[in-house]
Amino acid sequence: MSSRRIVIVILLSVAFVVGHCVTIPAHAFCPLTSRWPGGQVTMSQNLPATDQLINGTTSWAQNAESAMQEWSDVSSAFRFINGGSSGVGENNRDDVNNMLFGDSAGGDPFEEDVLALTLTRSLSDGTALESDIVFNRSAKWNAYDGPIRIDASGAPVFDFRRVVLHELGHVLGLGHPDESCDESVDSVMNAQTTSTDGLTADDRNGLSFVYAGGNQPPVADAGPDQQGDGTQPFVLNGGRSRDTDGVIVSYDWELGGELIARGRVSEIPLRRGTYEFRLTVTDEDGASSFDTMTIFVGSEFTPPSDGNERPVADAGGDRTTRSGTAVLLDGSASFDPDGVIDRFLWTMGNAVLGREAEIRLSLSEGRHLITLVVFDSAGDTDSDSIVVNVEPGATEPSDVENPPADDPLPGEEPPVVPAIPCGPLGAIPVLAVFGFYPFLKTRLASDGARRRCSLHV
């Protein structure tokens, strides 16, 4: 072999990653130092069989393959190749990029609060040679979308697919934007697990930057806010969006989290109410950004032409509770003066928490702003927000049986929704209750040659 030095980078828990932060408007992905030559890497797996999971899949491998495909779909500049079953264990010098369950990684047993470790071996110039991802066999796993779930005993059940997404991000060369770069962005690569269960614009922009020659994302411009009486369709115009180093190839318009139009310009009829549209633009290298625009239809002085009265949302009052205690959100006091409430929607940030009048969920420590939106049969809406403060609890750790494969959870079990950190991750207390509030943390070992990335609970 040449005289180039080989280093083993193990992505581990605590302090910071070897990497630098690339900050652009509304984005702050955090590249590491390793890169895969040719923009591709073959990942194999040695994952056990399992029964059907909550998301309908029938194997851990299906979820790993799905996560690889989601990253590969970002840009033609990089792709994961499915290497199938490896049939081998964890060995960072066997030239097999592997994913598997284990009781230890890199020669060290898993700490009880670590969910997964990524180990990468590379040359001193950053050329990646091999990566292994080891998932803690003793953790409780399943596969599902949305907020973190808990089982009947109050212990969390972790979504295998989103953890694979995060660890694959380390394999391709991305760190933690919130922890390593102290940036607040929506990202599956953040050091704290949230209800984000897929790649965000920041994640896609990070891959595009690393493997598409420093590509910069486009800038979305949804246009100014609009107001009208609803007698004519409104025009959605993203024509002022731009890309300084390429071309915009797609314009997607969303309303309430649902795709309602595609294209630079689109017309849409609207009834009386207030609507916030989100425009996402994507360039030829897979990078994207978004912008929002509000349309107000009607006015307080002009009743709707059909005489319909808007519903009235009532999310209840603010409250304070303790961690580990399920919170009941009750919107049943909402009403419609001239009809019935047709639909309920509970949200926190961009996450949908539930679609019933009453929902029950567990929240991590911190301050949570939760909004209820109600819809009547005529399509008119109203919203109301409450604040739920969650203080530290005194709950003792619960005993959890943790085989790598578990039966699907009953649908009525409340999800755990972690709090959004209010500053540097180091200011967030490590919680005493085992099984709640998963964290992804990273540290650089003292010799500077080993880096680990781990998911903590």
In a domain, 422, yes or no: no
Which residue range is the domain that position 254 belongs to? Answer: 226-297
My answer on whether 47 and 164 are in the same domain is yes
Q: 29 with 120, same domain?
A: yes
405 belongs to a structural domain: no
Q: How confident is the model at residue 384 (pLDDT cuts 50, 70, 90)?
A: confident
Q: Which of 391, 411, 427 is the last residue of a domain?
A: 391
Phi, psi of 167 (to 5 degrees): -65, -35
- List, for residues 234-258, the tens digit of each pLDDT value: 999 999 999 888 889 999 999 988 8
Q: Is the pLDDT of residue 122 over 50?
A: yes
- If asked whether residues 137 and 251 sit together in one domain, one would say no
- 177: helix, coil or strand? helix
If asked whether residues 136 and 49 sit together in one domain, one would say: yes
What's the count of helices (H) and strands (E) in the chain, helices before strands?
A: 4, 28
Helices 60-72, 160-172: crossing angle, 10 deg rounding:
40
In a domain, 106, yes or no: yes
Here the contacts of 225-229 (C-beta below 8 Å, separation 24 or greater) are: 225/293, 225/294, 225/295, 225/296, 226/293, 226/294, 226/295, 226/296, 227/295, 227/296, 227/297, 227/299, 228/295, 228/296, 228/297, 229/297, 229/298, 229/299, 229/302
- Residues 266, 144 share a domain: no
Query: Same domain, yes or no, for 162 and 256?
Result: no
If asked whether residues 233 and 358 sit together in one domain, one would say no
The number of folded domains in the chain is: 3
* Residue at 396 is within a domain: no
Q: Does any domain span residue 207? A: yes
Residue 62 pLDDT: 96
User: Per-residue pLDDT averaged across 323-346, rounded?
Assistant: 88
For residues 113 and 12, is the Cβ–Cβ distance under 8 A? no
**Which residue, 391, 423, 445, sits at the end of a domain?**
391
> How large is the average pLDDT for residues 433-448?
29
- Say if residues 351 and 198 touch (Cβ distance below 8 Å): no
The answer to whether position 131 is within a domain reads yes
Is residue 406 in a domain? no
In this predicted structure, what is the pLDDT of residue 79? 95
Across residues 136-157, what is the average pLDDT? 90
Q: Is the pLDDT of residue 412 over 90?
A: no
Per-residue pLDDT at 306? 56
Please name which of 115, 162, 163, 108 lies closest in space to residue 138, comparing C-alpha atoms: 115
* Position 253, amino acid: W
pLDDT score at 194: 76
Angstrom distance (rounded) from CA 422 to CA 38: 39
- What is the rounded average pLDDT of the residues 42-55? 95
According to DSSP, residue 18 is labeled: S
Q: List residues bridging with 354 in a β-sheet.
A: 346
Whether residue 208 sits in one domain with residue 186: yes
Burial of 120 (0-12, 13-18, 19+ CB in 10 A): buried
User: Which residues partner with 136 through β-bridges?
Assistant: 102
Distances (CA, A) of 139 to 134, 155, 159, 363, 457: 12, 10, 11, 20, 9
CATH code, 343: 2.60.40.10
Least confident of 22-36, 159-173, 238-252, 317-331: 22-36
Asked, for residue 88, whether it belongs to a domain, the answer is yes
Domain boundary residue among 263, 297, 331?
A: 297
Q: What is the mean pLDDT of the chain?
A: 77
Closest to 390 in 3D by CA, of 440, 450, 319: 319
381-390, 398-407, 409-418: range with highest mean pLDDT: 381-390
What CATH number is associated with residue 178?
A: 3.40.390.10
> Above pLDDT 90, what percent of the chain?
33
Query: Do 159 and 50 share a domain, yes or no?
Result: yes
What value does the mean pLDDT take over residues 415-441? Answer: 29
- Asked whether residue 147 falls in the same domain as residue 277, the answer is no
pLDDT tens sequence across 172-213: 999 888 776 666 778 898 877 778 899 988 898 899 888 988
Cα-Cα-Cα-Cα dihedral of 347, 351, 357, 359, to 10°?
-120
pLDDT at 180: 64
Query: 162 and 49 in one domain?
Result: yes
CA dihedral over 285, 186, 130, 42, signed as positive or negative: negative
pTM of the model: 0.58
Cα within 13 Å of Cα(454), Cβ side: 25
Whether residue 249 is found in the same domain as residue 177: no
pLDDT higher than threshold 70 for residue 364: yes
